[in-house]
Amino acid sequence: MSNNVVNAVNGAGAAHVAIVTGAAQGLGQVIAEHLHAAGYRVAIADINLDAARALASRLDASGTTALALKLDVREKADFEAARDSLLASWGGVQVMVNNAAVTLHTPVMQISPEEFSSVVDTNLRGTFLGCQVFGSHFGANGYGRIVNLASLAGQNGGTAAGAHYASSKAGILVLTKIFAKELAGHGVTVNAIAPGPIDLPAVRASVPPGKLQGIIDNVIPVHQLGDPGFIADTVVHLASPQAGFVTGAAWDINGGIFMR
């Protein structure tokens, strides 16, 4: 790793640039906020451009350190356009966080083929395309950090998530290893974070209160939901230049539900 890369994050040069997919709300929003607070220029990439713009404006109304990008993760051309936009706006990009996901809880016997494909296309195909487009760019430049948001559901089938969601997250864990091997010799690390149930509004809205409390009391050994801020801090940690010796890993943050 060149001294310029280290200096960029340590303050001797321009701040590193990170792009976060699905960043306009939920966990993606928290990740974007924490990366921005850590000194990164952050691209808020989301299919909902208005929401992305609102967050970017809250982070930096001048647009100097935060900008919004419309990105449908199912489309390779959108990733390529996002990459090109960041090169034009900020001269580069060094961190990709594949966070965008659809979470559905349909019982397995009621999932239609179309619903299954829709979830997998967003979650798994979207992560594949993000790793492919930005991994290629990072590899050509000799440096990069990719962090994929997987899930406990991809390891044990989940506590409440649908089979299509769990299957897509299991695929992300495998893709992480594949891209990590492919890019390891080019200064690029690829890691995954596999959270368990997180204390987010979307989680509380999608799981009935009684069922959620039952999960907290009887399923999660530490008897509490995960802190999204801690997960975001873990992303920041894995995105740093100092994280060069960590690749192909899945960081489990699940309250002890799944131990290995």
DSSP string, 120-184: HIIIIIHHHHHHHHHHHHHHHHT-EEEEEE--THHHH--SS--HHHHHHHHHHHHHHHHHHHHHG
The pLDDT-based confidence of 12 (bands split at 50, 70, 90) is very low
Please tell me the least confidently modeled range out of 53-67, 151-165, 234-248: 151-165
* In-domain check, residue 223: yes
Per-residue pLDDT at 173 = 98
- 204 or 70: which leads in pLDDT: 70
* In-domain check, residue 189: yes
In the chain, pLDDT over 70 holds for what percent of residues? 94
Q: Which residue has the tokens 């034009």?
A: 88
Q: Is residue 165 among the annotated active site residues?
A: yes
Per-residue pLDDT at 71 = 98
Q: Look up the domain containing 135 and give its range.
A: 3-253
Q: pLDDT tens digit string along 73-120?
A: 999 999 999 999 999 999 999 999 999 999 998 999 999 999 999 999
Asked if residue 22 lies in contact with residue 89, where contact means CB atoms within 8 angstroms, the answer is: no
Q: pLDDT tens digit string along 180-201?
A: 999 999 999 999 999 999 999 9
Domain count, the chain: 1
State the sign of the Cα–Cα–Cα–Cα dihedral 204, 208, 210, 216. Answer: negative
Per-residue pLDDT at 227 = 98
* In-domain check, residue 125: yes
Is 35's pLDDT higher than 70? yes
Per-residue pLDDT at 13 = 53
Is 7's pLDDT higher than 80? no
Considering 165, 203, 235, 241, which one is annotated as catalytic? Answer: 165
* In-domain check, residue 260: no
Assign residue 60 the CATH number of its domain: 3.40.50.720
Please tell me the least confidently modeled range out of 22-26, 73-77, 161-165: 161-165
Q: Dihedral (C-alpha) 238, 241, 245, 250: value to the nearest 10 degrees?
A: 10
Identify the H or E element spanning 118. Answer: helix 113-120
Residue 13 per-residue DSSP state? S
* In-domain check, residue 229: yes
Q: pLDDT tens digit string along 134-155?
A: 999 999 999 999 999 999 999 9
Residue 41: closest CA among 2, 92, 100: 92
Q: Which residue has the tokens 């960041």?
A: 86
Asked if residue 165 lies in contact with residue 203, where contact means CB atoms within 8 angstroms, the answer is: no
Asked if residue 15 lies in contact with residue 8, where contact means CB atoms within 8 angstroms, the answer is: yes
Q: Residue 153 corresponds to which tokens in the numbers above? A: 């559901």
The pLDDT-based confidence of 208 (bands split at 50, 70, 90) is confident
* In-domain check, residue 259: no
The pLDDT-based confidence of 209 (bands split at 50, 70, 90) is confident
